[in-house]
Amino acid sequence: MTARIPPVLRPEHPLARPLAGLAAEFGLDSRGSLDGIEITGVTLRSTEVEAGDLYVGIQGGNSHGASFAAQAAESGAVAVLTDLAGVDLAANSGLPIVIVESPRAALGDVSAWVYRTNEHPPLLLGVTGTNGKTSTSYIVEAILKQLGLVSGLSSTAERHIGDLTVVSRLTTPEASEMHALLARMRESEVRAVAVEVSAQALSRNRVDGLVFDVVAFTNLSHDHLDDYADMDEYFAAKLAFFDPERGKRGVVSLDTAWGEKVVAGSRIPVTTISATPGVVGEWNTEILDEQSSYTKFRLTGPEGRSLVTSVPLIGWHMAANAALAIVMLVEAGFAVEAIGQAIEGGIDAYLPGRTERVSGDRGPSVYVDFGHSPDAFLNTLGAVRKFTPGKVIMVFGADGDRDATKRHEMGRVASEGSDILVITDHHPRFEDPDSIRATLIEGAHLAEHQAELHEISPPEKAIRHAVSLAKEGDSILWAGPGHQDYRDIRGERTPYSARAEARDALREAGWS
């Protein structure tokens, strides 16, 4: 992967810890002398080593990380942690080696020890689910700020430490990066952190070494079946979040049938919430008003507790995410009355690339959205349709080298929910973009209601074509790129902004 990879946020004033103390703490075997060696950081990437780092060599898909130990040493690493298979590979580095059975499985606890993140941790609030994780996390952070707390965020889109913002790499960072981030947050006196937690993060040990005060489940729908054999295996990865080793208390949305399965399988106390008419949870969300700039709702819970507020986003699903965020904070110990007072005038949240309107007062409304699953398309198209007197035009493509089993359904739902559908490219990666588009078109032809169909590549041309088809009163939904500032083509991350392209297309067409 080339440049434009965002930086890892680390503590600015790390505290050194003795390597011998690490080996003693975890009862680890070693090679070479550990005496006098002090470590101040942990990393998996030899290209990102800083002076004083413990370099962790993990078996990858194509090579063993321990093979790069000498390169890590040249960059300032002072020791290596690896498995038995990596010992000989790391020997030429000249560094002392600490040995574990599985470096990936050990990474969270080791990073927690190095960065001391288990000492006086902040309030940790984690969200998992197929859709809504990012939105819920941003809304949790927004409410924390309105309650007067210095807050942090780790999401698909961004990492926040108070007012500091950087673009994210992964939905959930590697365990070493997560603990470094929390250590940096501690320096900034962050008191509460909202964390988006993917299924892959749970399966691949990225949140190891953390115990969340509250964990939440939004929903489950078709996605990531390139990583999991079927929906049951995908669900099992999510359910692992509801374990005493991961969280203390849980909040579960019943808006998909999988919510009841989480409740049944949870090993921690949970409370339930519903925004679906006819489905009753311990907390229930009622939509009071929907406008093109906000959704107003009432949240009612046990003992008659309730509040009314709004979220500056369109769609019932965004109100459901906001209500889930509120109940997470209640479960964390905040009083409903205090939350209600803080957000009485509305939740002050900005979500980059989540049904984000990028158009002006004249001309068609244009939204960019991160949604890249059939269920996300269904909800977002429904929300856009409500505020569109004219036609709904949708532009989308699909990720290459990712779950191909959802492409037919993405095409079908997109055609069903739009009047005009423009199929284009997204991140082809190492796949043939023509083949990806062909599969999406096959799916579009499966729709009962088939939109007027256009195939346009590349996306810069596609959005301009969509704008050329639009009139005043129409809406264009560009799904997929959302907040992202690059396209991934054959391993090259090239600079790219859907927001900027859409605005340029509008200006070129004569709209302000």
Helix (H, G, I), strand (E, B) or coil at 130: coil
Q: Is 52 left (phi over 0), alpha (psi -120 to 50) or beta?
A: left
**pLDDT for residue 485:** 81
Average confidence (pLDDT) over 115-120: 96
Q: Are residues 363 and 313 in the same domain?
A: no
d(CA 5, CA 168): 9
Whether the predicted pLDDT of 170 surpasses 80: no
- Domain of residue 279, residue span: 123-342
Average confidence (pLDDT) over 368-390: 93
CATH classification at residue 438: 3.90.190.20
pLDDT, one tens digit per residue, over 203-220 is: 999 999 999 999 999 999
Identify the weakest region by mean pLDDT among 6-15, 237-246, 319-328, 454-463: 6-15
**pLDDT for residue 76:** 98
Whether the CB-CB separation of 40 and 16 falls below 8 Å is answered with yes
Whether the predicted pLDDT of 70 surpasses 80: yes
First-to-last CA distance in the chain?
A: 37
Whether the predicted pLDDT of 2 surpasses 60: no
pLDDT, one tens digit per residue, over 348-363 is: 999 988 899 999 999 9
Q: Are residues 218 and 260 in the same domain?
A: yes
Q: Are residues 171 and 282 in the same domain?
A: yes
Helix (H, G, I), strand (E, B) or coil at 186: helix
Whether the CB-CB separation of 500 and 353 falls below 8 Å is answered with no
Q: Using the 3D structure, point to which of 115, 136, 153 is the last residue of a domain.
A: 115
Angle of helix 258-265 relative to helix 231-239, nearest 10 degrees, comes to 50
d(CA 41, CA 340): 41
Q: Using the 3D structure, point to which of 115, 150, 172 is the last residue of a domain.
A: 115
Q: Are residues 377 and 291 in the same domain?
A: no
Residue 350 lies in a domain: no
Whether the CB-CB separation of 58 and 103 falls below 8 Å is answered with yes
Residue 289: CB partners within 8 Å, gap ≥ 6? 295, 296, 310
**To the nearest whole percent, how much of the chain has pLDDT over 90?**
87
Pairing of strands 420-423, 452-455: parallel
Identify the weakest region by mean pLDDT among 2-6, 417-421, 456-460: 2-6
- The pair of three-digit structure tokens given for residue 1, joined into one six-digit string: 């992967």
d(CA 145, CA 73): 42
Helix (H, G, I), strand (E, B) or coil at 392: strand
pLDDT, one tens digit per residue, over 251-268 is: 999 999 999 999 999 999
CA distances from 163 to 144, 326, 388 (A): 13, 22, 35
Q: Using the 3D structure, point to which of 81, 115, 149 is the last residue of a domain.
A: 115
Residue 347 lies in a domain: no
- In DSSP terms, 294 is beta-bridged to none
- In DSSP terms, 310 is beta-bridged to 296
**To the nearest whole percent, how much of the chain has pLDDT over 70?**
98
Of residues 492 and 84, more confidently modeled: 84
Q: Are residues 286 and 363 in the same domain?
A: no
Residue 5 lies in a domain: no
Whether the predicted pLDDT of 224 surpasses 70: no
Mean pLDDT, rounded, of the chain: 95
Q: What is the pTM of this model?
A: 0.90
Q: Are residues 311 and 413 in the same domain?
A: no
pLDDT, one tens digit per residue, over 305-347 is: 999 999 999 999 999 999 999 999 999 999 999 999 999 999 9
d(CA 104, CA 56): 9
Pairing of strands 151-154, 158-161: antiparallel
Q: Are residues 191 and 269 in the same domain?
A: yes
- The pair of three-digit structure tokens given for residue 96, joined into one six-digit string: 């002392």
Q: Give the helix ranges, DSSP H, for 116-174.
A: 133-146
Whether the predicted pLDDT of 199 surpasses 70: yes
**pLDDT for residue 6:** 67
Residue 441 lies in a domain: yes
CATH classification at residue 212: 3.40.1190.10
pLDDT band (50, 70, 90) for residue 171: low
Q: Are residues 256 and 318 in the same domain?
A: yes
Nearest to 178 by CA among 97, 110, 251, 250: 110
Say how many domains are in the chain: 3
**pLDDT for residue 1:** 37
**pLDDT for residue 157:** 85
Q: Are residues 173 and 38 in the same domain?
A: no
pLDDT band (50, 70, 90) for residue 4: very low
Q: Are residues 182 and 330 in the same domain?
A: yes
- The pair of three-digit structure tokens given for residue 455, joined into one six-digit string: 């195939």
